[in-house]
Amino acid sequence: MRVGIIGGGQLGRMLGESAQLLEIESLFLEPSPSPSAAVAGEVIVAPYDDRVALDRLARECEVVTYELENVPVDTVRYLAGKVAIHPGPGALETAQDRLAEKRFFRSRGVSIAAFVPVDSVEQLEAGIELLGLPAILKTRRMGYDGRGQLYLADPEQASGAFAALGSVPCVLEEVVPFDRELSILAVRDRDGATATWPLVENRHAGGILRWSVAPAPEVDRELQLLADALATRLLEALQYVGVLAVELFQVGDRLLANEIAPRVHNSGHWSIEGALTSQFENHLRAILGLPLGQTSVLLPCGCVNLLGRLPDLSELLAVPGARLHLYGKEPRPGRKLGHVTVLGADHGQIRARIDAVRALTAG
Ligand SMILES: Nc1ncnc2c1ncn2[C@@H]1O[C@H](COP(=O)(O)OP(=O)(O)OP(=O)(O)O)[C@@H](O)[C@H]1O
Ligand SMILES: [Mg+2]
């Protein structure tokens, strides 16, 4: 069996590694030569919209998926006419446009931050009047890791901010006074069966995920059920196949949805060691029409991203309970070079081990 994977970054690499355990081959499409995923399968080096390359994926693979959100929707549509591709173009299209995404959440009764669409400086000024400041201006498209957004504290910033983001369509959002950030990963298979992993607590800095704890501490049954129901509702609404991540803000006992990622997600890396079935394996099982694996937790985990430069490996490996994953990428400021999952007996031990890893890294 062969699976086509559009994108050759670390998510593709970990999908491919998971596929190897099931003796499923991976064929990647990735424009940059020698990408992270090259250790896990053959790479077609071509742009994501290269028709010859797409035809080859369709011809040689049973099913195609993608590991990045900014693959052109036209690529997915084109492939959908030739081969099974999951998730389908509808989910991708929704996730790529923050405005469509917010309307989708609302249409499904999911709470979100107050927002206004912004297509001009005038609309931005009106939005600031309406929502008040501080607020966050975000481009509708192509944002990731906090790129394409600006925190506005002063109405004077309006015209400069809109121009600084390229005068492209945006949304202005209230700043949510959240207690913490959470995410839920969920999976749906081709027959409509679903499963969720426990809520994960995520800490960001500068818009980039720094570290996570899974399962999130202090989650009562109601909160988990609320998140499960929310994620499952979204999966069903999209007739989704594969793993979906939903980023959430917790405010008291409420959950506001921030965004969805139509793919495996950084906040699910812990599941490689910490869950009976990882997000990567269940994504493959779902898209290939295999039965989903159980998502039960084996041990609580922390996950720390290694950003920009690698710490001393022997110090890192000396942290008790640490499992190191390197992505084979050249160091560059802010770049995700790997992650460390720490396992422990309880949340106290996890936090101590996360702190030990963080003391060795810039993250
Ligand atoms: N409305 C908000 N209120 C408070 N904090 C916010 C808000 N929107 C975003 N943030 C903070 O900025 C981070 C990045 O925002 P968001 O997830 O919208 O952007 P992104 O760049 O698309 O991120 P990703 O890499 O997850 O795709 C959030 O995880 C959160 O920490
Ligand atoms: Mg996000």
Average pLDDT along the chain: 97
Q: What DSSP assignment string belongs to 68-99?
A: -TTS-HHHHHHHHTTSEESS-HHHHHHHH-HH
Ligand 1 contact, 207 CB (< 6 A): yes
Atom of ligand 1 nearest to the CA of 204: 31
CA-proximal residue: ligand 1, atom 25 (nearest) = 145
Ligand 2 centroid to 58 CA: how many Å? 31
131 token code pair: 């929502």
* Phi, psi (degrees; rounded to nearest 5) at 29: -120, 120
138 CA from centroid of ligand 1 (Å): 9
Does the beta carbon of 113 sit less than 6 angstroms from any atom of ligand 1? yes
> Which ligand 1 atom sits closest to the C-alpha of 174?
1
Between the CA of 204 and the centroid of ligand 2 the distance, in Å, is: 9
**Helical H segments across the chain, by residue range:** 10-21, 51-60, 73-80, 89-96, 98-107, 121-131, 158-164, 221-237, 271-274, 279-288, 313-317, 347-360
pLDDT score of 146:
82
**Separation of CA 82 and ligand 2 centre (Å):** 32
Closest ligand 1 atom to residue 261 Cα is 27
Give 145 Cα–ligand 2 centroid separation in angstroms. 7
- pLDDT tens digits for 305-327? 999 999 999 999 999 999 999 99
- Sorted by sequence, the CB contacts under 8 Å of residue 14 that are 6+ apart come out as 40, 264, 269, 272, 280, 325
Q: What pLDDT, on a 0 to 100 scale, did the predictor assign at position 362? A: 63
> Do 242 and 187 form a contact (C-beta atoms < 8 A)?
yes
**Is the C-beta atom of 181 inside 6 A of ligand 1?**
yes
Residue 179 has pLDDT above 70, yes or no: yes
The amino acid at residue 76 is V
Would the CA dihedral through 113, 119, 123, 128 be positive or negative? positive
Ligand 1 contacts CB of residue 308 (under 6 A): no
Model pLDDT for residues 142-173, shown as the tens digit of each residue: 988 888 999 999 999 999 999 999 999 999 99
CB distance 180 to ligand 1 below 6 Å: no
Mutation to probe ligand 1, out of 258, 264, 305, 335 (largest number of atoms < 8 A from CB): 258
- Show the DSSP H helices in 251-312 as ranges: 271-274, 279-288
Query: 165 alpha carbon to ligand 2 midpoint, in Å?
Result: 17
> What domains lie within the chain, and their CATH numbers?
2-85 (3.40.50.20), 114-174 (3.30.1490.20), 180-360 (3.30.470.20)
The pTM score is 0.97
Separation of 318 CA from ligand 1 center, angstroms? Answer: 33
Residue 356: per-residue pLDDT? 97
Give pLDDT tens digits for 5-63. Answer: 999 999 999 999 999 999 999 999 999 999 999 999 999 999 999 999 999 999 999 99
